[in-house]
Amino acid sequence: MAPKLKKLVLTGAAGRLGSYLREPLAKMCDELVSSDLAADIGTLYARETYVRADLSDLAAMEALTKDADMIAHFGAIGDEAAFDAILQSNIVGAYNIWEAAHHNSVRRIIYASSIHAVGMYPKTDFIGTDVPHRPDTYYGLAKCFAEDLAQMFWDKRGLEAVCLRILSCAKVSSARGRFMA
Ligand SMILES: NC(=O)c1ccc[n+]([C@@H]2O[C@H](COP(=O)([O-])OP(=O)(O)OC[C@H]3O[C@@H](n4cnc5c(N)ncnc54)[C@H](O)[C@@H]3O)[C@@H](O)[C@H]2O)c1
């Protein structure tokens, strides 16, 4: 069994995936620091604390990730939006997370990327994880930026990252949803 982490930071803790992740992540570490823009996230699990912070604030991200072993970076605008909003939360936010992680010698970031990073490939194509980016939205473009940021910080600074291209994590309520069109 993998050794327990000391401090784990979860961004996007008030969101859909963050809400699913809080309980299992709290069991993996001595201290889970959950963070989001929300005023609060309800009842906290054992060993969990909550910090309200904006991803676009570098100083806040540096304070949040101090002494962390790992960051699960799930905070972002979770769908297509105006470019200015994507720029602050998803692009500047990702930059701040990686800069703060490096500043604080965090070992690893788990990043919630998306299939929208490669959304312009025809749905009938079987593509690998190593194909060039072909984003279908500003949202997908921001995922490409963060994936490249992760690669650059690994190549230049040895900061580990795992970028998960999540397909969909939502209740399937239609035939279209099952097909993932
Ligand atoms: N749910 C899915 O099916 C799916 C699929 C692919 C990728 N993803 C990715 O997974 C992550 C989580 O998705 P979700 O469905 O839980 O989204 P969500 O919208 O439910 O949660 C995202 C959270 O990020 C927070 N956030 C946004 N901007 C912020 C900022 N500037 N500072 C601090 N917090 C901020 C929001 O307040 C929200 O609680 C996102 O990065 C999303 O792009 C989700």
The answer to whether 72 touches 10, Cβ cutoff 8 Å, is: yes
| CA nearest ligand 1 atom 31, residue | 89
pLDDT digits (tens, 9 = 90+) for 88-128: 999 999 999 999 999 999 999 999 999 999 999 998 999 99
The answer to whether 133 touches 144, Cβ cutoff 8 Å, is: yes
147 lines ligand 1 (CB under 6 A): no
- How many domains does the chain fold into? 1
112 lines ligand 1 (CB under 6 A): yes
pLDDT digits (tens, 9 = 90+) for 73-82: 999 999 999 9
114 lines ligand 1 (CB under 6 A): yes
| Catalytic residue status for 45 | no
Please indicate, yes or no, whether the overall pTM of this predicted structure exceeds 0.75. yes
Please give the residue range of the domain that contains residue 166: 5-179
Domain harbouring 145, CATH code: 3.40.50.720
